[in-house]
Structure 1
Amino acid sequence: AAPYRFNRVAVATARLIAGHGIEGDWKAGRNPKRQINLVARETLDGLAREGYRTGPGEIGEQIVVRGLDLMALAPGSRLRLGESALIEITMARTPCDWLGLVQGKPDAPTAAQGRVGVMARVIEGGIVRVGDPVQVIGGGGAQATTSASASGSTVDST
């Protein structure tokens, strides 16, 4: 297994493995409801304006998307990333004490609540590349964003 890192290294391509997470990620396979951590670029930009460091992985994110309000998606919503990867939103991510330590902001777990993305599980594996389209394809009930409103959403970084 890869060594533990809260911060992650940006890559142009990531392989998602069904029921596991991102190939090579230290946390992959540990918790079936927390296989992938996604955050919106727009959310990171807002946190940066508040003084958070938001370089690759500095909020603990694994995949960054642009143009999609992830926090508006209900658990059960499914996203197609690129041509073949399919993930399902399981819950909003809860900031932990590590975020405060890494950011040098002891109040970060409380201050960033509701603004550090969502957790997901991998339903169908596949390769995800920076620039790939992101499509909401259903699930999650009435709160889920439709695929039409998600048009133009892309993977910003992995």
Structure 2
Amino acid sequence: MTHGRAVTGRLAGIARHAVPKGPMEVLDAAIVTLDGGVDGDTRGRLKPGGRGRRQVTLIERRDWDAALAEIGHAIPWQERRANLLVEDFDLPQMPGTRLRIGPVLLEITVECDPCHRMDAIADGLQAALKPDWRGGACSRVIEGGTIRVGDIIRIEES
């Protein structure tokens, strides 16, 4: 442990949605690219002139579980609509921090604010995800590659 943070964690889930507002598909492995994020995910594509701030989204299992406990529901993690579920790891709440997952390097860009669609899943879910970056983090792809459930996640020292 460093300053109360886990040095490494584990990639516990991968998901994507092919069309906006479409169903989430849970995967065991995925290709992540610089121009497309998680292969086949509609949100990962770089728009012309865009900065790719939301290419890949991540959420901590501990935060998802805490939000669900607060509202008294059991809901699969992919309903959060995040691409990656991490466990035993505290996502850095600092834009510019780089994370290594297998061969892939991601850079945290912004907090992934929960939208009103969360309340359509369960009443109160949006509010339960608001404190302390519980809704997760958005990132851009710096180095691509193939990731698999079970891969180690760590902060990349610069």
- Normalising by structure 2, we get a TM-score of 0.76
Segments of 4+ moved more than 3 angstroms? none
Does 1:75 find its partner at 2:95? yes
User: Structure 2: how far apart are the matches of 1:26 and 1:118?
Assistant: 17
User: Structure 1: how far apart are the matches of 2:76 and 2:108?
Assistant: 23
SS of equivalent residue, structure 2 residue 80: coil
Gaps of 5+ in 2: 1-16
Identity across matched positions, percent: 30
User: Structure 1: how far apart are the matches of 2:93 and 2:59?
Assistant: 12
User: Structure 1: how far apart are the matches of 2:23 and 2:60?
Assistant: 17
Instruction: Please point out which of 112, 130, 138 is paired with 1:119.
Output: 138
Partner of 1:130: 149
User: Structure 2: how far apart are the matches of 1:62 and 1:87?
Assistant: 12
Gaps of 5+ in 1: 140-158
Which structure shows the bigger proportion of residues in strand conformation? 2
Alignment RMSD, CA only?
2.1
Partner of 1:110: 127
- CA gap of 1:14–1:20, structure 2 versus 1, over 3 A, is same
Does 1:12 find its partner at 2:28? yes
- Normalising by structure 1, we get a TM-score of 0.76
Residue range with higher mean Cα deviation, 91-100 or 25-34: 25-34
- CA gap of 1:121–1:52, structure 2 versus 1, over 3 A, is farther
Residue by residue over 1:36-82, the C-alpha shift from the partner in whole angstroms, topping out at 9 and shown as x without a partner, is: 11011111221222234431411111101111111x43110001101
